[in-house]
Amino acid sequence: MCFLSSVSFALLLISVCPSESLLQGDSSSVWLQRLNGTHQQTGVFPRGFLWGIGSSAFPTEGSWDADGKGASIWDHFTLQSPAGASSDSYIQWEEDLKAVQFLGVDFYSFSLSWPRLFPDLTLNPNPAGVEHYRRLIRKLKELNVEPVVTLFHWDLPQVLQERLGGWLNSSMVGVFADYAEFCFRTFGDEVRFWITMHNPFLVAVQGYGTGAHAPGVKGERGDPFIAAHNLIRAHAKAYHVYDKLFRARQNGKVSISLGSHWVEPLHGQATPTNLELCQKSMEAVIGWFAEPIYGSGDYPESLKSANRGVIPEFSAAERLWVRGSADFFSVAFGPETLRVSRGLARFGQTVALELRSVLVWVQQAYGDPLVLVAESGWFSDASVGVEDTLAIYLNKRFILQVMQAVSVDAVRVFGYTAWSLLDGYEWNQGFSVRRGLFYIDFSQSERRRVPKTSAHFYRQTVRDNGFPDTDTKHIQARFPCHFQFGVSDSILQVRLHPFSPQFTDPHLYRWNFSGDGSLKPVNGIILHTRPAQCTDFLFIQRHLFLLGVTGSTHYRFSLDWTQLSPSAGHPETLRFYRCVFSELQRRGIQPVVTLYHPSYRSSSLGLPEALHANGGWRNASTVDAFVRYATFCYREFGALVHMWITINEPNRLTDAYSGSADDRRVVARHLLLAHAKAWRAYDVYFRKQQGATVSLALHADWVEPANPFLESHKNAQQHFLLFELGRFIDPLYNQESSSSTLIGWSDDEREELRGALDFIALNHFTTRLVSPWAHLKASTPDHGCSLMNDVNWQTSQMGQALVPWGLRRMLGWVKNRYGNRLPIIITASGVDDQAAYHDQLRQSYIRDYLQEALKARELDGVNLRGFYIWKLQDHHDLQFGLFSSAAHHSRPKASASLYRDIISHRGFISSGDPCQSADEDGTSCEICAHIAENKPLLFFSVCVFVSVCMICVLIILSVLRKRRRKRRKTLSVPQRVPVPQRFPMMRVTHRLRH
């Protein structure tokens, strides 16, 4: 009922009306573009950043009528379910300070109990109350912990409510100012930061609107606005009291903590209408109080327009007096405000846990003020004890959002307050929820403070000043020349159509070109045909063309067992697969062939129907059938295949069988025996002639302890990994583990299993968080663990988390357990991305996961030999493929180009020394690598060289030909003797005559 009331009042706040103006700042741009660096997981805060912990008087102090304390409105409001001793902080305040010390924080934010200091209407303070807070503040200073003191956190003296009507009476402005002046004078010499009020929005709406909070008033429509008006004026007057009388000597700072929520537009669409509704929603909560204090000095126009005649008005003098009455912006982001604000999520708007967006909105709306996060945290159910795992990740979420606001958006946040120090009596929810970092058993009179795991988490965060990146940064290195860059697919379906019959049809046709364009056979003419060719299968050419675009050196796919039965193998099916192998060989791509890839879309799980009808892998006869099938494939295709995978992900296939855990152990037993027998068959009959390697591929996602501060979660991690991987690898590797011994092998079976593995093939996609299964019952998974995701991890549309470092840790675990004797190959890894071309998520995945694979090889010494991307092409919708489906014209996505680029450089070096590797004889393949990396340039150079040589030869031949022609002309013409030479005596005679 209270929630419905809050919804109805909240709707009044943002009633749809003609838009006049929004806040002066450009805060609406927060919804127009996504904030950068949203998935930043590591980083530290600036030096000098202040870490704090907070609490308030009513939920924790108890002793509600001890040592002269007066009753508060909350004491009166909760008479039916009294808070009683609550956390007993009034008595055990020193234990509270030990808890503060444990966290290692810079400040402790707490509130003064107004009725403990002033129990009645007289101006005489209660000495016991004054001394209590003096001791508390003095001790905090001795511990080098800064006190951040709130004057009013909702516990108004009951006498003021009864005599004056509480915050509906304007005289409360002066009363509060007098109270504030006393506190400034009494405690101010040792307090640097003052908060006048905490979240006045809830006081006005829940206290004087819906009645869900004390004093429980359900009055007129205008009562919440009157209460808010008086709260703002009271804050401003207290601020000016400090500014005038105490600032010069005490040099402190004063603010007011404003509660906020955050809303996202309808369907995420930032249309002008949706933006206006979102802006109005923010103005109706935090803007209601922030705009008069940090903005124009008056209420937001949208709030005034929706509530004309109801909302009070500030005079011109009051606007000047209220405006600027805070030294910094203090934000409270807690569940109470978000709960009430759900009523503001109109027309499809959704309330979101986005503290970062709130901080950016404040920055843009109010001129980039200094900001203190005065409350941040969430709640747990009352049944949750010290193992509050979910609270860790929600607290981490808020801290990461603040870090992103500081480091990416340049919001000037100078401090963060985790809420709260202790479990207590949580206002109108009483003991039904817990918000403390320290657990208190309220059934025990001692009220002992026990740190929860969230306290350990926050302590570590404070010590590290954030979340420093402990992993190795991006490295510049190459994979070796023999490294397998591949693409992995499931079953390669036999596609006999489309088919090209152009060389198999013996008829000659006449084309009616000018008529109807038909082809008509010419009677009586029969042409010679050629034998069947692989080019007949048009699908193979098109499919392998896409594969070639990626630059992959290997292609992993599965044969279709249902169409390759040894007893009923179709000749065309055999020819289809032979053509696939020969075409791959012709293109220089090595096939990696999976014999059995379970199909979960098929009712038979990819088994021949007869086997499935006979119980599938529950029946031992399936093992023998698989060995016969494997032997058939080795014989038919083995000459063209150098790597075999017997079964894909048998550790996932067991989950497809319902029944008891014993039934699934039988399935696991038969799968392992089928693999081992198939491996033995190859080893005995085919290895010497064909020389291939054989393994099985396991699903190998990494898991982290969900709660790293609990040994039970660390044990669950090891138990899960042994169940998922050790259960299948250990028997083949001749190692014993609790998971493998559960199957119960005989001595003969152990001997057959031992060594039946040539390499370790792992399919890795993501990382999960693991914890022990909380409630042991029939639905308990066989591994006995619960799995979850960190809410702060980046996830795909299908919910797959992107955690690159998980791959490196998985490879490290396998190396540490099994050594480096056998090579490791990542036979499948990928992520779904719904983008048609700019698949940024998949590009990030490929780049980051390959980088982690390179680190594992280069820095950790893992014998990693290959990495295969899942998969080549989408089936229908845009998901895992490097290319879109045929229905989408098989278009390459940007990730295909990125993968090709990484392959061409064999890693992450764009220039410099070529990759270094060695073959089995130890000789360098530097020259072949250089040639492989510069094929286009080499081809161009050869073409130029040949062209130049040909031109030179032509020029030489031309010159020689011209000379030969000239010589021939000279020899063919008769020699003519010159006249002086023919008649030499004539010259002599002539001379004598003269």
Q: How confident is the model at residue 344 (pLDDT cuts 50, 70, 90)?
A: low
Tens of pLDDT, residue by residue over 261-292, are: 999 988 888 888 889 999 999 999 999 999 99
More confident residue, 757 or 981: 757
The percentage of the chain sitting over the pLDDT mark of 70, rounded to a whole number, equals 88
Highest mean pLDDT (candidates 29-43, 148-162, 881-895): 148-162
Domain ranges of the chain: 30-464, 488-503+529-905
350-351 and 263-264 beta bridge pairing: antiparallel
Q: What is the pLDDT of residue 565?
A: 76
Contacts of 469 (CB under 8 A, 6+ apart): 42, 43
Q: In CATH, what number does 488-503+529-905 get? A: 3.20.20.80
Residue type present at position 168: L
CB distance 143 to 97 below 8 Å: yes
Let me know if the fold of 30-464 is the same as that of 488-503+529-905. yes
Tens of pLDDT, residue by residue over 345-375, are: 566 788 999 999 999 999 999 999 999 999 9
More confident residue, 949 or 534: 949
Q: How confident is the model at residue 894 (pLDDT cuts 50, 70, 90)?
A: very high
Mean predicted confidence (pLDDT) in 156-179 = 97
CA 232 – CA 980 distance, rounded (Å):
134
Three-state DSSP at 878 gives coil
Q: What is the pLDDT of residue 7?
A: 41
Query: Which tokens go with 719?
Result: 């138990």
Q: Answer whether residue 731 shows pLDDT above 50.
A: yes
Instruction: Name the helix (H) or strand (E) containing 381.
Output: strand 380-381
Least confident of 2-11, 153-162, 815-824: 2-11
Centre a 10 Å sphere on the Cβ of residue 266 and count the other Cβ atoms it contains.
18
Tens of pLDDT, residue by residue over 762-801, are: 999 999 999 998 865 557 888 989 999 999 999 999 999 9
- DSSP string computed for 246-282: THHHH--EEEEEEE---EE-GGG---HHHHHHHHHHH
CA 153 – CA 72 distance, rounded (Å):
11
Least confident of 152-161, 759-768, 905-914: 905-914
CB distance 895 to 844 below 8 Å: no
Provide the residue count of the chain: 994
Mean predicted confidence (pLDDT) in 813-830 = 97
Nearest to 682 by CA among 648, 714, 635: 635
Q: Answer whether residue 916 shows pLDDT above 80.
A: no
Contacts of 304 (CB under 8 A, 6+ apart): 298, 311
Nearest to 648 by CA among 583, 696, 693, 576: 696
Q: What is the pLDDT of residue 920?
A: 39
CA 424 – CA 433 distance, rounded (Å):
9
Q: How confident is the model at residue 137 (pLDDT cuts 50, 70, 90)?
A: very high
One CATH from 3.20.20.70, 3.20.20.140, 3.20.20.80, 3.90.1150.140 for 30-464: 3.20.20.80
CA 209 – CA 899 distance, rounded (Å):
60
693-699 and 450-451 beta bridge pairing: unpaired
Q: What is the pLDDT of residue 658?
A: 85
CA 511 – CA 524 distance, rounded (Å):
17
Q: How confident is the model at residue 339 (pLDDT cuts 50, 70, 90)?
A: confident
**Chain CA centroid to CA 564, Å:** 41
Mean predicted confidence (pLDDT) in 139-146 = 98
Using the structure block, give the residue that is written with the tokens 């979850």. 788
Instruction: Name the helix (H) or strand (E) containing 944.
Output: helix 935-972
Query: Which tokens go with 702?
Result: 């990494």
Helices (H), 795-917: 804-818, 840-858, 894-905
Q: What is the pLDDT of residue 987?
A: 45
CA 719 – CA 699 distance, rounded (Å):
16
CA 77 – CA 215 distance, rounded (Å):
6
Q: How confident is the model at residue 72 (pLDDT cuts 50, 70, 90)?
A: very high
CA 670 – CA 942 distance, rounded (Å):
58
CA 523 – CA 667 distance, rounded (Å):
63
φ and ψ at 91, to 5 degrees?
Answer: -85, -40
Mean predicted confidence (pLDDT) in 233-238 = 98
CA 55 – CA 620 distance, rounded (Å):
65
502 burial type by CB count under 10 A (0-12 exposed, 13-18 middle, 19+ buried): exposed
Q: How confident is the model at residue 102 (pLDDT cuts 50, 70, 90)?
A: very high
CB distance 288 to 303 below 8 Å: yes
Tens of pLDDT, residue by residue over 172-197, are: 999 999 999 999 999 999 999 999 99
Q: What is the pLDDT of residue 954?
A: 87
Q: Answer whether residue 404 shows pLDDT above 80.
A: yes
Using the structure block, give the residue that is written with the tokens 């159509």. 497
Tens of pLDDT, residue by residue over 504-556, are: 677 778 877 667 778 888 888 887 776 667 777 888 999 999 999 999 999 99
Centre a 10 Å sphere on the Cβ of residue 784 and count the other Cβ atoms it contains.
14
Which residues lie across from 44 on neighbouring strands?
Answer: 466
Across the chain, mean pLDDT equals: 89
CA 700 – CA 428 distance, rounded (Å):
47
Centre a 10 Å sphere on the Cβ of residue 111 and count the other Cβ atoms it contains.
24
Three-state DSSP at 50 gives strand
CA 308 – CA 97 distance, rounded (Å):
49
Mean predicted confidence (pLDDT) in 949-978 = 73
Mean predicted confidence (pLDDT) in 23-39 = 69
- DSSP string computed for 667-710: HHHHHHHHHHHHHHHHHHHTHHHH--EEEEEEE--EEEESSTT-
Contacts of 199 (CB under 8 A, 6+ apart): 154, 257, 258, 259, 332, 334, 336, 337, 375
Euclidean distance between the first and the last CA atom of the chain, given in angstroms as a whole number: 155
Centre a 10 Å sphere on the Cβ of residue 175 and count the other Cβ atoms it contains.
18
Contacts of 731 (CB under 8 A, 6+ apart): 672, 740, 743, 745, 750, 753, 754
CB distance 420 to 406 below 8 Å: no
Q: What is the pLDDT of residue 780?
A: 80
Mean predicted confidence (pLDDT) in 601-617 = 93
Please compute Rg for the chain using Cα positions.
Answer: 40
Q: What is the pLDDT of residue 657?
A: 92
CA 243 – CA 326 distance, rounded (Å):
10
Three-state DSSP at 374 gives strand
CB distance 193 to 146 below 8 Å: yes
Give the long-range contacts of residues 442-448, CB within 8 A, separation 24 or more: 445/85, 447/85, 447/87, 447/88, 447/92
Contacts of 769 (CB under 8 A, 6+ apart): 703, 704, 705, 706, 787, 788, 789, 790
